[in-house]
Structure formats: C-alpha cells, structure tokens
C-alpha cells in the first residue's frame, strides 16, 4: 500500500468524532433531522426551527420538551451518551427515534454549538457553548422550559465536508424535506420552519394527518387520495395512497414511515408496486403516504448510521400485508364506509388512527359540503336509487355529449367530467371477464365462422403450452399446422372483439410476460389485458343509448378511474377549480 503510515495509533477522540460526524451529519438536513428527532423523543409538542444560508450559517431548533438538568446536559454531548437505551437488548426494542447517543457529540464536533436547556421543574437552565467539540463555557441561564440547540458555521473545521455542500437553495430543499417528513409523522406536534427570516411553514399542533397533508402537499389533489387502514395481526398499515391516476416518474413522492420514522425500505417499494399491479404502467410510481406500525422487536433499525433503513424480521409477511392493504384500499368504492381498520389475515381491533373515520380526505369527485357551488337539480332524475349511489365516482350525472368523435362530456353534482370511452370499455370488459373467471362461470361463445391466425414462430411456441388453460377460460383453439391456429369459440364477454386479434395479443403478451410462474391469476389478467388491446379502438361515435349503457356499466366497475393499463378513464374538473380559473371566488353569484 502506498503512503501507508509507519505505525498504528489510536485516534484521538476529537478525530473519531469527526469521522463519526461524517456518517451522521453529512449535510445540514441531517443536523435538522437529528435535532428534530431529539426534540420529539423529549416529548415536545412544539418545535421551532430556524435556518440561515441553507444551514451553513445557522441551524436552530427550539423545543418545549422535557429538557435536561446540568449533569444530563454535560453528558448529552459526550459520544455514546444516551438516555434511551442502557444495554444491548434494548436495541432490539427501541421505540425512540434516537438511541446511539452520537448525534449531539458529532454535531458539536463540527460546528460552533450552543445548548440551552431546562427541565420544567427547575428554575434555572444550563447553557453549554462548544467550538469544534471543545467546551468553551458552562453556565446557568434563564430560559424557557425545553431545549434550544444552535448550530453555527457547520463544518467550519472540516473543509473537506464544507466543499461538498451544494447551493444554499439545494441544502434548504433537503432541510425542508426532512422537516416535512417529521411533520407528517407527528401531526400532533406544532412545527415552524423559518429560513433567512422568512416563515416557510407554521403548522398548528393537534393536527390530523389530512390537515398536515393539506398544509404540506397542497399540490396533490386530495380527491385522488384514498385512506388506508389495514391490520394484519399486530402490524398496522395506515395513511393515504393515490388512485392509479396519480403517479410520478420516480419514487420521490412515495413517503414511507415505520413506527413514525421516515424510512426508505426497498422491500416496501416492491410491495407498493405489487399492490398497484395491473393498475399502473411499469415505469410509473404512485404517490403514497404509508405508515407502518409494528412491534419494535419485529424490526432492526440498527443497520444504517442515519437509521434511514430498517430490516424486517418477517419481510415476506410485511410485503404481503402492504400489497394487500393497497389492493383492498383501491378496490373500495369512494364513499363506502371505512372500517377503523380493514382486518387482514389475523383480524384484530386496532386503536383509532390519527385520522378521521371518513374514507378519502374527501370523496372522488369531491362532494364538498358547502364550499362547492352545487347546481340545483330541477329536471334531473337521480341516476340510481340512493342506495347504490356510493358505488360510483359520482352521485348524479348527466351526459352532455361526445366531443372530437371521442371524449364523453358529463356534468356531475360537483363539476365536469371527461371520459375516454375506449378506456372505459377496456375497464368494463376487463372486470367482466375477471368476475366470470373468479366465479368459475366463463361463458363461451361459438363463432359463426372459425378464424385462423398465423403467429410469428416465437409467439406460436409461447402459445402452445397454455392451450389447455385457454380452453378453460372460454376459448376453443386448436393447432392447425405450422404456426397456425384455428379458433372457433371465445369468451362470451369478448363477443365483438376479433378472435384472431385477441389471440395475437395474448401470444405477444405471453412473450413479454416474465410472470408466468408466479401463480395466481396471471394468465387471466393477461388475457383480459390482451382483450382490451384488441377491443374496438377509439374514435367511434357512439349513439346516445350506447353512451348511456357504457356509463352505466362503468358506474358498476370496481375501479372506474383507470383502464387496466393505467391510463385514466375520467378526468374531473370541480366547480371550485372552474370558479378559480374564471377568477370567481365561490360561492357563485
Ligand atoms: P440519542 O438521541 O441517540 O440518545 P443524541 O446525541 O442525539 O443521542 O442525544 C443524547 C442525549 O441527549 C439523548 O439521549 C437525550 O437524553 C438528550 N437530549 C438530546 N436532545 C434533547 C432534547 N431536545 N431534549 C431533551 N433531551 C435531549
Ligand atoms: Mg438523537
């Protein structure tokens, strides 16, 4: 090895601290995260955070938690000093956010650091001032109960670290994200964030998760979120997930929490994908805010220096539960009454979550109580008896017509809906077929004229092994020489779809599908999707009666919002949005 030192030496503590600091404190946002965790662990109900110059000049976090007496304050800035665990076994069931006792020591060693703290029962507080980890001053101060940590000139003594900091704006963006995550995880705690004198957030205490979502993610349309409440034994899954119509190109809007700790567990990303299977394209990521609560003994948080990752003791169970929670949530109709928790494999009574007992934040499309200017129905007959109303994306609708030989325009109780009839047709076909399959009652329909189809060699080879299964799903198909197949019956629900086109689509999909050994309904789903592709293509003008029929069928669908390939079926504009666009402040005048 070149440049190797001639002898081994034990590093002085201040050097060790700097190395550790590199892991825990890689950038200002990490300081904010650690200080927020400490404040929350201390039982604070109010946090005030101040940032100057992206955290390079100042990071200050003030809380109204339990504070520390003089001795504890002095200990808190020592390495491996923690009040949260006392032996190894505690690590296995730690329920606080912190436990390593490293953060304050690490932060203090790479900054000019002030700690001011006072337990509520004591009259005076303690102030510690450190520079680069060296104590400069210890004294009594008058201060409010709780703790204030000020971190100035981060990395002033570690130029290598300082060089890696990005622009103030970028560092602030990371800080905001950290702030938002803890604000979501602890809606009952009031939190304020100021940057360069400007107030970015001022979130009230005693808030609910939907309140916080509204305050922090105003750009995400509430009506496209569904509330999750699911329990599988002691594992609880809650939060909000997007309808398949609300996706992103990456995972940046998949917010995951385990025991109120923001986390990035690869396992959960996979489970989410599975839950949305068949509903969204492969390269899209649904927006989710998912909270897992489980026994601390079921996870190991001691695998990452900044505790960003966790390891599960029973990963398969967690994965399965998350996917199932998503599936059940998406299958639930908007407005359908939400049990406090949907019971999973092992039903249990779960404590009420942090959210109100309503379904989505509001139902889709929103039935807003008073703010939405409702058109007054006069000659309008309800589309269905009241009992069936909550089974649809709307309670009332009127078909206005079709535009561009394609889109269907509808008025609903709270806005305007555009519907893609082709996507709607796909959805209806798909669900019909899947329902018949699950009911074991697929009707087969003989073709007036048998059709032959010639497949490319690879597709033909792919089709052969599933001929028997195809027969069970209502097809009658026989091999007819080199790469040629003869079809003389198809599932009745695909009645007007060309049989040869259908088989071509199925064979092509078989070729691409890597899932054939996964069991379950993969073949049926594949057939249904193929049928959709083969179905009558768009740009067909529909007669009024046909439109009526299609909309009526869509209203009965399990998932009336997206086609089986994940494209939206309906796009909704609320009266509120329209009023905004027209510069009218509701209510209508
Ligand atoms: P950890 O959080 O892993 O225990 P830290 O270095 O972050 O380690 O904090 C060390 C200790 O200092 C904590 O265990 C806690 O007892 C105390 N402490 C830190 N911040 C606060 C705070 N804001 N309020 C009260 N006590 C605190
Ligand atoms: Mg800590």
At which residue do the structure tokens 């709307």 appear? Answer: 394
CA–centroid distance, 105 to ligand 1, in Å, is 10
CA–centroid distance, 184 to ligand 1, in Å, is 21
| Residues in the ligand 1 pocket, defined by CB under 6 Å | 34, 38-39, 42, 63, 65-68, 76, 81-84, 98-105, 147
From first to last of the 589 residues of the chain, give the pLDDT tens digit: 444 445 666 666 766 666 666 577 889 999 999 999 999 999 999 999 999 999 999 999 999 999 999 999 999 998 777 877 776 666 667 778 877 678 999 999 999 999 999 999 999 999 999 999 999 999 999 999 999 999 999 999 988 888 889 899 899 989 999 999 999 999 999 999 999 999 999 999 999 999 999 999 888 888 889 999 999 989 999 999 999 888 888 888 999 999 999 998 888 999 999 999 878 887 888 999 999 999 988 888 766 666 667 889 899 999 999 999 999 998 876 555 444 444 443 333 333 333 333 333 333 333 333 333 333 333 333 333 433 334 578 889 999 999 988 899 999 998 999 999 888 888 888 888 888 877 777 888 888 888 888 888 777 888 888 888 888 888 899 988 778 899 999 888 777 677 888 888 888 777 666 555 555 667 777 787 777 776 655 446 778 888 899 999 999 888 888 887 777 899 988 898 898 889 886 554 4
CA–centroid distance, 165 to ligand 2, in Å, is 23
DSSP 82: -
> What is the Cα–Cα distance from 179 to 201, expressed in whole angstroms?
9
Q: Which atom of ligand 1 is nearest to the CA of 106?
A: 6
> What is the Cα–Cα distance from 183 to 566, expressed in whole angstroms?
31
Asked if the bond preceding 587 is cis, omega within 30° of 0, the reply is: yes
At which residue do the structure tokens 């190894």 appear? Answer: 88
Q: Which atom of ligand 1 is nearest to the CA of 147?
A: 23
In this structure, the residue with its CA closest to atom 7 of ligand 1 is 103
Which pLDDT does position 534 carry in this prediction? 67
Q: Which atom of ligand 1 is nearest to the CA of 97?
A: 2
In this structure, the residue with its CA closest to atom 21 of ligand 1 is 38
Whole-angstrom CA distances from 273 to 278, 293, 352, 493 are: 9, 20, 27, 29
Note whether 244 and 280 are within 8 A (CB).
yes
Strand intervals (E) in 261-394: 261-263, 285-286, 288-293, 299-300, 311-312, 342-343
Which pLDDT does position 293 carry in this prediction? 95
Q: Which atom of ligand 1 is nearest to the CA of 107?
A: 6
Q: Kindly identify the ligand whose nearest atom is closest to the C-alpha of 78.
A: 1
Q: Kindly identify the ligand whose nearest atom is closest to the C-alpha of 101.
A: 1
Axis-axis angle for helices 499-512, 522-534 (nearest 10): 130
CA–centroid distance, 38 to ligand 1, in Å, is 5
Q: Which atom of ligand 1 is nearest to the CA of 100?
A: 3
Which pLDDT does position 32 carry in this prediction? 98
Mutate to test the pocket of ligand 1, among 30, 37, 38 (most ligand atoms within 8 A of CB): 38
Which pLDDT does position 374 carry in this prediction? 33
Note whether 527 and 506 are within 8 A (CB).
yes
In this structure, the residue with its CA closest to atom 12 of ligand 1 is 76
CA–centroid distance, 431 to ligand 1, in Å, is 54
265 alpha carbon, distance to own chain's centre: 12
> What is the Cα–Cα distance from 556 to 432, expressed in whole angstroms?
10
> What is the Cα–Cα distance from 109 to 17, expressed in whole angstroms?
6
Give backbone dihedrals phi and psi of 548, rounded to 5 degrees, phi first: -55, -45
CA–centroid distance, 212 to ligand 2, in Å, is 24
CA max distance for the chain: 96
pTM above 0.75, yes or no: no
CA–centroid distance, 272 to ligand 2, in Å, is 30
CA–centroid distance, 97 to ligand 2, in Å, is 7
CA–centroid distance, 474 to ligand 1, in Å, is 66
Whole-angstrom CA distances from 345 to 195, 233, 257 are: 47, 7, 22
Mutate to test the pocket of ligand 1, among 25, 31, 39, 41 (most ligand atoms within 8 A of CB): 41
Q: Which atom of ligand 1 is nearest to the CA of 67?
A: 25
> What is the Cα–Cα distance from 557 to 196, expressed in whole angstroms?
52
């Amino acid at each position: 090895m070149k440049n190797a030192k001639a002898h081994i030496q034990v590093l002085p503590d201040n050097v060790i601290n700097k190395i550790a600091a590199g892991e825990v404190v890689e950038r200002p946002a990490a300081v904010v995260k650690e200080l927020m965790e400490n404040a929350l662990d201390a039982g604070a109900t109010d946090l005030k955070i101040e940032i100057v110059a992206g955290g390079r000049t100042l990071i200050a976090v003030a809380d109204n938690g339990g504070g520390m007496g003089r001795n504890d304050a002095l200990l808190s800035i020592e390495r491996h000093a923690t009040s949260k665990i006392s032996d190894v076994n505690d690590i296995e069931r730690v329920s606080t956010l912190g436990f390593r006792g490293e953060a304050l020591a690490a932060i203090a060693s790479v900054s000019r650091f002030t700690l001011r703290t006072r337990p509520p029962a004591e009259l005076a507080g303690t102030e510690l001032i450190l520079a680069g980890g060296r104590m400069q001053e210890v004294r009594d101060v008058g201060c409010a109960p709780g703790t204030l940590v000020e971190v100035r000139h981060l990395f002033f003594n570690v130029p290598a670290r300082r060089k890696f900091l990005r622009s103030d704006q970028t560092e602030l963006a990371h800080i905001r994200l950290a702030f938002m995550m803890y604000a979501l995880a602890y809606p009952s705690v009031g939190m304020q964030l100021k940057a360069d004198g400007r107030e970015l957030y001022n979130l009230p205490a005693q808030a609910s998760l939907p309140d916080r979502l509204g305050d922090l993610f105003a750009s995400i349309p509430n009506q496209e979120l569904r509330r999750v409440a699911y329990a599988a034994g002691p594992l609880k899954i809650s939060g909000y997930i997007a309808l398949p119509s609300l996706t992103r190109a990456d995972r940046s809007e998949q917010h995951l929490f385990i025991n109120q700790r923001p986390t990035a567990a690869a396992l959960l990303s996979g489970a989410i994908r599975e839950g949305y299977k068949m509903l969204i394209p492969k390269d899209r990521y649904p927006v989710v805010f998912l909270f897992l609560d489980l026994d601390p003994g079921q996870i190991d948080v001691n695998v990452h220096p900044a505790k960003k990752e966790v390891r599960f003791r029973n990963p398969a169970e967690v994965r399965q539960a998350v996917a199932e929670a998503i599936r059940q949530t998406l299958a639930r109709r908007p407005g359908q009454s939400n049990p406090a928790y949907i019971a999973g494999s092992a039903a249990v009574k779960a404590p009420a979550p942090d959210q109100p007992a309503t379904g989505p934040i509001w139902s889709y499309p929103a039935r807003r109580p008073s703010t939405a200017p409702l058109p007054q129905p006069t000659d309008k007959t309800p589309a269905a008896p009241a009992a069936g109303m909550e089974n649809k994306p709307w309670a009332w609708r009127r078909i206005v017509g079709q535009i561009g030989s394609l889109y269907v325009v509808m008025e609903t109780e709270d806005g305007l809906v555009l519907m893609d009839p082709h996507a709607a047709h796909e959805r209806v076909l798909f669900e019909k077929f899947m329902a018949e399959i699950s009911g074991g009652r697929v009707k087969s329909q003989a073709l007036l004229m048998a059709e032959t189809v010639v497949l490319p060699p690879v597709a033909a080879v792919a089709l052969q092994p599933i001929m028997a299964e195809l027969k069970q799903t209502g097809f009658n198909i026989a091999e007819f020489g080199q790469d040629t197949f003869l079809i003389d019956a198809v599932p009745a629900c695909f009645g007007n779809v060309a049989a040869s086109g259908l088989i071509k689509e199925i064979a092509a999909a078989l070729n691409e599908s890597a899932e054939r050994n996964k069991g379950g309904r993969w073949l049926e789903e594949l057939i249904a999707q193929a049928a959709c592709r083969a179905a009558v293509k768009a740009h067909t003008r529909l007669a009024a009666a046909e439109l009526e029929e299609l909309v009526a069928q869509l209203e009965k669908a399990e998932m009336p919002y997206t086609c089986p390939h994940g494209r939206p079926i309906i796009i909704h504009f609320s009266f509120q949005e329209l009023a905004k666009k027209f510069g009218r402040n509701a209510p209508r005048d």
